[in-house]
Amino acid sequence: MTVRLRIDPRKPDAGAVARVGAILRAGGVVAFPTETFYGLGADSRLRAAVEKVFRLKGRTERNPLSVVVASEQEVIPLVAEVPAAARTLMHTFWPGALTLVFAASTAVLPLLTAGTGKIGIRVSSHPVARLLARELAGPLTATSANLTGGRECSTAAEVMEIFGDGLDAVIDAGNTAGGLGSTILDVTVSPPRVLREGVVAARDISTVLGIPGR
């Protein structure tokens, strides 16, 4: 049966966060709020947990999963390199809704990259998402809490309606902003290439990087 935990993002209960961390470390999958929509979180170091995320969403394993981490420093073990442009973008837009796609290190499960050798990472600006990543002390999957091709969820109730008792826990931290998802930017190429424009505008990225006419 799915555990539903209410966590106030303005004053998170440490005990509740620790409980969710224990569920994640045991291989569970939880729904948690981000700055855009609710996401499905699993310890991305555990293959069985990541496989469960794919099954729950009905998602093909040819489609990679992105992750959230607690800080910029936690990016280092996950990537082959951090290009200068990526460092600039991290300092400017993180925490926030910008997912940067890096060349993955050998520490990353190939299942996460869907064979692309690339991994999408961001530091979320939602306090609960950041707390969970910090509690896990590792990368947390952050794919949207929906069925593949279906609508995203902005409330815990919507998540429960879709997944029922399929999840190990749902964190109810109120409504999320909805609207657009995170912007996804590939920083393995120069200049970086927008794969999906979302909350962070492509023109703002170009301005920060000093790329004219984009």
Q: What number is the average pLDDT over the span 87-105?
A: 98
The answer to whether the pTM exceeds 0.85 is yes
**pLDDT recorded at residue 203:** 96
Where do the domains of the chain lie, and which CATH numbers do they carry? 3-209 (3.90.870.10)
Q: What angle do CA 189, 51, 96 make, to 5 degrees?
A: 45
**pLDDT recorded at residue 115:** 92
For residue 12, count CB atoms less than 10 angstroms from its CB and return exposed for 0-12, middle for 13-18, buried for 19 or more: middle
DSSP string, 134-146: HHHTS-EE-EESS
The model's pLDDT over 47-84, given as tens digits with 9 standing for 90+, comes to 999 999 999 999 999 999 999 999 999 999 999 999 99
Q: Is the distance from CB of 58 to CB of 83 less than 8 angstroms?
A: no
**pLDDT recorded at residue 213:** 55
Q: Is the distance from CB of 20 to CB of 171 less than 8 angstroms?
A: yes
pLDDT cut 70: percent of the chain above it? 99
Rounded Cα gap, residues 106 and 117, in angstroms: 9
Looking at the chain, list the stretches that DSSP marks H as alpha helix, in order from N- to C-terminal side: 14-25, 47-57, 84-93, 110-113, 127-136, 156-163, 202-209
For the chain, what is the largest distance between any 2 Cα atoms, rounded to a whole number of angstroms?
A: 54
The model's pLDDT over 183-213, given as tens digits with 9 standing for 90+, comes to 999 999 999 999 999 999 999 999 999 987 5
pLDDT band at 113 (very low <50, low <70, confident <90, very high): very high
